[in-house]
Structure 1
Amino acid sequence: MILQSFGLRNLPETEEFPFNLELVKNLPYISLKKPVTFFIGENGSGKSTLLEAIAYASGVPTAGGISITDDPLMEPARALGKMLSLRFIEKTNRGFFARAEDFIGFVKNILRSIAELDSEIKEIKETWTGGDINLAQSPLLSERKEITDRYTENLDAMSHGEGFLKFFNTRITGKGLYLIDEPEAALSPARQLSLIVLIQEAVKNKGSQFIIATHSPIIMAMQEAQILHFENNAINEISYTETPHYQLTKAFMDNPERYLRELEG
C-alpha cells in the first residue's frame, strides 16, 4: 500500500463548484484498505472529480494527455486537490492518472514523434554533403528504434482495446500509485478481463496500488478490492453483490426478454 487515506483538510467559504456539492461538504476521511479501490456511482456523483483531485494532490503525472496542472477543464479538481489531505504509508514518484481520452493523446504523441524523426532523417539524406551520413543519422535512428520497440510503430493500426492495454502495460513500471478514470470506455468485455489480469499482476509482482472510477460490473468484480459507492451525497463501502451495477446486470441477464418487455411498458 502507498496511499493510506484521504480527506478534506478544510472547507473554503465558497459556493463555487465543487465546494457546493454536499458530498464535498460532508467528505469524511476515507481509509484505503486494499491495493485496489473502486469508485462507483452515477455520472455526476462526484467520483471522477474526487479521483482527479487525488491525482492533483498526489502529484502523479497525467499519462498521455494534458497535465492536470495545465488543463483548464481541471480547475475544479485542482481547487479540491489543494484542500485534500493525503496520508501516505510510502511516498513514491511512480504512478499516473489516466482517462480513456488520454490514450488517444498518447497515440498521437507517439506517432508525432516518429513522424518528426522521419522528417529529420529524410532531411539529412537530402542535404548531407560530407562526412559519414550514418554517423549523422545514428542518434535519430536509435531514438526511432527505441520508440517503435517499446510502443510498436503500428500502434495506430492496433485495435483500440489492444492499444489501450499496451498503453497501460508500458506505463506501469513499478511500485506506484495508479489512478484510472473509466477504463472500460476503451475496452471490450474480453479486454476488461485482460485489464484485471494486468492490474492483479502489478499488485502482486510490483506492489502497485490502484484507484479506479468505473461503471463496469466486470472490472469491479476483481477479487480482494475495496468498493466505495458514491450515492446520496455520501461515500459508503459496499460489497460487489450490493452494487447496483451487479444487481441490474444480473436481473437483466437472468431474463432479458422479460426485462425489455417491462421497459417497453
Structure 2
Amino acid sequence: MIIDLSGKTALVTGSTAGIGFAIALGLAKAGAATVLNGRDEGRTDAAVAKLKGLAPQSDVRGVAGDVGTAEGCDAIVAALPAVDILVNNAGIFGPQDFFETPDAEWERFFAVNVMSGVRLSRAYLPGMREKGWGRVLFLSSESGLNIPADMIHYGVTKTADLALSRGLAKRMARTGVTVNAILPGPTLSDGVAEMLAGEVAKSGQPLETVAADFVKAHRSTSIIQRAATVEEVANLCVYVASPQASATTGAALRVDGGVVDTIA
C-alpha cells in the first residue's frame, strides 16, 4: 500500500516529542504539509528543525500554543485557519491516588486531554465538511477502557475522548469526513521514559528491558509483553489519516499490544 497525502495539510498537537512527533514524521513522509505544535516556540522550532533533518523534502512548520487553554487553541486556529487532517494528540498523564487528586488536577487533565480536542475539532470540522474530505484522530488510550486504579483521573479523560470521537463521527456522517480514536497501550514515549528513569538508573538495565518488565507487572494481559514503539503507533495513525481509510469512522482502534483482553 502506498499512502500519498500530497496536497493535504495536517496539524498534530503536542508533537514536539514522543508519539506526536512520530505521527508528524509519518505524515510528512507520506507527503502531507505538516504542522507541529508545542506549548512554547523554542521547543516547537527545535522539533521542526529535527523533523526537517529526518525528512528533508517535507513541508514542515510549527505553530506554538497551549492547547490546554481556550486562548492557546484560538491562537493556533488564527495562525492556521484550515487543515485537512487534525490529530488531537496532546495529552498529560501520571499516577496519583484518587483520594489525593484535587479538583484542580481533574480540571487540568480534562482541559488538556479533552477540551483541546473539543475546541480544535469545533474549529476545523466545518471547513473539512465544506471540502467534502477530512480526517480527525483522537489519541485515546487502552486506559480509556481499562481504567487504571492509580490513574483514574487520566482514564476518565481517555474514556471521554472515545465518546467524543464516536459522537463527532456520527455528526459528520455522509460528509466525507471521518473521526476515529486511536488507543495506544504502554509505549516507549518520552513521557514513559521519564516515568521509568528512576528504575533504569537503579537497575542499570536498558529502557526497553525496564519497560517490558513494567508491562509484565502492570499490564499482564499484554500479548506482546513489551512496550510498543512510537513508530508502531504512528503507523496506524498515518493509515487512518489516509484516503485508503475512507470506510473507517467512529472506531476505537487499538494499538495496545493486546492489553485489552477482549476480542471486540
Settle same-fold status: TM greater than 0.5. Answer: no
Shorter-chain TM-score bucket reads: 0.3 to 0.5
- Using structure 1 for the length normalisation, give the TM-score: 0.35
TM-score by length of 2: 0.35
Higher relative contact order (CA 8 A, sep 6+): 1
